[in-house]
Amino acid sequence: MAIKEITMPQLGESVTEGTIEKWLVQPGDKVNKYDSLAEVNTDKVTAEVPSSFTGVIKELIAKEGETLAVGEVVCTIETEGDASSEKSTSQDTPVEKVTAAEMPTAESKKAAAPAPVEREKGSKARYSPSVLKIAQENDIDLTLVEGSGNEGRITRKDLLALIESGNIPTAKAEQVAPKAEAAPAQTMASAKPAAAPVNVPLAVGDTEIPVTGIRKAIAANMLRSKHEAPHAWTMIEVDVTNLVQYRDSIKNEFKKKEGFNVTYFAFFVKAVSQALKEFPMMNSMWAGDKIVIKKDINISIAVATEDALYVPVIKSADEKTIKGIGREINELAGKVRAGKLKSDEMQGGTFTVNNTGSFGSIQSMGIINYPQAAILQVESIVKRPVIMDGGMIAARSMVNLCLSLDHRVLDGLVCGRFLARVKEILENMTKENTSVY
């Protein structure tokens, strides 16, 4: 018999952690390879974790509602086989097993910052990616942290307990008081106060709704985008009268022939993907010390349910016809609402187009879908009186296109030219020069 470890999978690009929303198995249950073990939420997708082995569930390491980094162990399975192959990870990449002993207790949360950890000379501490990420984001000096993991390794839970207590050891604090045992606790504490829970008074008739794992993931991703990307915003007005007339003239025949509606949104996605080919800088991402211009044009679209927002991706949108884009929009939206969207259908997006006009919005500022560089909001098409060339006033179908951009990557000049090109394409979509096939 052998004990196999199931780890938190990476369920999307830039995804570093996932939350166990619900266990689908219990210790003692027999499972087959590829059986679903748990429902997991990330900032990009809700998915099920499959078993990599056939065997019996030995232990559920992670608890429901617990967030773990990619690669951390979530459960163990007892299988028939050679015990020498128990670990599926390399010895050079140690796995942090999260056990009850590593969970932060009320006492550990209240404890003062620990003294510097004595390590043998020449020894090299090894940290998991999640530990390094948390330490960098919170200015934590890991040499001052005492780990509760195997052989004193620092775990993610150790750092979260320190952050919650407010006693964060920093490198700056060590310089002020190199002998920690003689320094008061407040000298070593970070200047950042611990985040206090929001106290919202409740009145008779008020309703409390628990925050779900996916809502927490959405909040975390939006917060990261706003904190890291300096958002700028611009808007352009487009006359889509010709497009409206063209679409209305073919919609009934198209529905009868193809079995689904051809929406205005498919035309907008096509126009944007065409313009992205001409302005590749818009199809790029910030990568710290470099900007990556993506070759493939993969359009992310926002699809809302009653309690969440999903962002499936239309791959290689520039190579698809309006009919092909329309069919994919229809299929992806159906999968979202049926709860059948797969994780790989939400990966690889390079630019987001959001159909905010579907619920009547005429002007909005979207939050960029991190790590993309921009998001375009397509607002509601509205009939308005417009002064035409020659001074004539006519009723025209007008739409606002609102662009949020990451100012680290994009400047006003390229964004203005890009929007002008999208406007030109849309205003020239007529029956004579545009085919849906």
Active site residues: 407, 411
> Across 9-167, where does the E strand assignment appear?
17-23, 30-31, 36-41, 46-50, 55-60, 67-69, 73-79
> Within 287-389, where are the H helices?
322-338
What burial class does residue 412 get, using C-beta atoms within 10 Å of its C-beta: 0-12 exposed, 13-18 middle, 19+ buried?
exposed
Nearest CA to 79 out of 106, 46, 52 is that of 52
* CA–CA dist 105, 274 (Å, integer): 55
For tokens 């006359």, the residue is: 239
The residues pairing with 414 across neighbouring beta strands, listed in sequence order, are none
> Is the C-alpha dihedral spanning 170, 174, 175, 177 positive or negative?
positive
Nearest CA to 95 out of 156, 3, 7 is that of 7
Residues 6+ apart with CB under 8 A from 354: 301, 302, 366, 375, 376, 377, 378
Nearest CA to 50 out of 15, 90, 89, 6 is that of 6
Show the tokens assigned to 312.
């499936």
Q: Are 101 and 89 in contact (CB under 8 A)?
A: no
Buried b (16+ CB within 10 A) or exposed e, 152-165: ebbbbbbbbbbbeb
Element (H, E) at 403: strand 393-406
DSSP single-letter state for residue 317? G
Instruction: Say if strands 303-304 and 309-310 run parallel, antiparallel, or are unpaired.
Output: antiparallel
Nearest CA to 355 out of 413, 410, 314 is that of 314
Q: Are 420 and 236 in contact (CB under 8 A)?
A: yes
